Structure 1
Amino acid sequence: MLSALEVITTVVVGVMVGVEFSVAFVMNRIFDALPEDSGQLGRAHGGRMLGAVMPFWYFGSVALAAAWAVAGRHHSGTGLVVVAAGLLVLTVLMSVLLLVPINNRSKTWTPENRPEDWKEQMNRWERWHYVRVAVLIGAFTLLVTALA
């Protein structure tokens, strides 16, 4: 049972890292290169779509890591899992406090109603997102190390 929990947690967190990495380094570059207002519209749609899924994914990842830490408390590597779970909690806090407020505004923007500082707000979101991706990579690395 513990082995299955370890693998499931690692895969779930790993895929989340891949999605968030892709948003940061692939999708946002594609949106920036689109003509006229297409990039802003694409970001708004992505914010709506991923904004609906990511809370479950983030909280689920924390729950899985916590379950792994508890179930494997007498096994080697548990300290790494506990630290990884702490980093995942940090990403949830960063999301709720820093990224979600910007995302909630930007997902409703159209070329007609977006604020004048919309690009600055998107740049702020991207800077925090880069930090969140780095923290997620750290958590994933710890989980993989604990699994090995």
Structure 2
Amino acid sequence: MLSTLQVFTVVSVGLMVGVEFSVAFIVNRILKALPGDAGLLGRAHGGRMLGALMPFWYIGSLVLSGIWAVIGWSHHGAGLVVGAAGLLIVSVLMSVALLVPINNRAKTWTAENRPADWQEQGDRWDRYHYVRVAVIVAAFTLLVAALV
């Protein structure tokens, strides 16, 4: 049972890292390069789509890591799993405190109702997101290291 939990946890966190890395370093750069309001509309739509999915993914990955830490407490690598769970907690707190408020505003923006500082808010979201990506990459690394 522990092996199955480990696989599900590592796959879940790994896929989350892949999606968030892609958003940070590929998707947002593509959206910034689009002409006119296409990038703004793309970010708003992406914010609605991912904003609906990612809370479950982040919390689910945290729960899986927590269960792994409890069930595998007496096994090799338990401290690494606890560290990973701690980093996932940091990522959730960052999301709620820093990223979600910006995303909740941005996902409603259109060419007609965007604020004057919409690009600065988007850039701030991107900077916070880069840090969050680093945090979840570190959590994923600890989970993988716990397996070996």
The aligned counterpart of 2:119 is 119
The aligned counterpart of 1:58 is 58
- Residues 73-129 of structure 1: CA distance to partner in whole angstroms, max 9, x if unpaired? 000100000000000000000000000000000000001000000000000000000
- Residues 1-56 of structure 1: CA distance to partner in whole angstroms, max 9, x if unpaired? 00000010000000000000000000001001111000000000000000000000
Partner AA of 2:140 in structure 1: F
Q: Secondary structure at the match of 2:110?
A: coil
The aligned counterpart of 2:94 is 94
Cα distance in structure 2, aligned partners of 1:32 and 1:100: 20
The aligned counterpart of 2:32 is 32
Deviation at 1:147, TM superposition (A): 1.2
Cα distance in structure 1, aligned partners of 2:92 and 2:77: 23
**Structure 2 residue ranges without an equivalent (≥5):** none
Q: Once superposed, what is the RMSD of the aligned Cα atoms?
A: 0.3
Q: How does 1:14-29 map to 2 (within 5 A)?
A: 14-29=14-29
Q: Percent identity?
A: 71
TM-score computed with the length of structure 1 as normaliser: 1.00
Q: Secondary structure at the match of 1:74?
A: coil
Cα distance in structure 1, aligned partners of 2:45 and 2:147: 36
Q: Secondary structure at the match of 1:109?
A: coil
Cα distance in structure 2, aligned partners of 1:41 and 1:135: 28
**Structure 1 residue ranges without an equivalent (≥5):** none
TM-score computed with the length of structure 2 as normaliser: 1.00
Q: How many residues align?
A: 148
Partner AA of 2:71 in structure 1: A
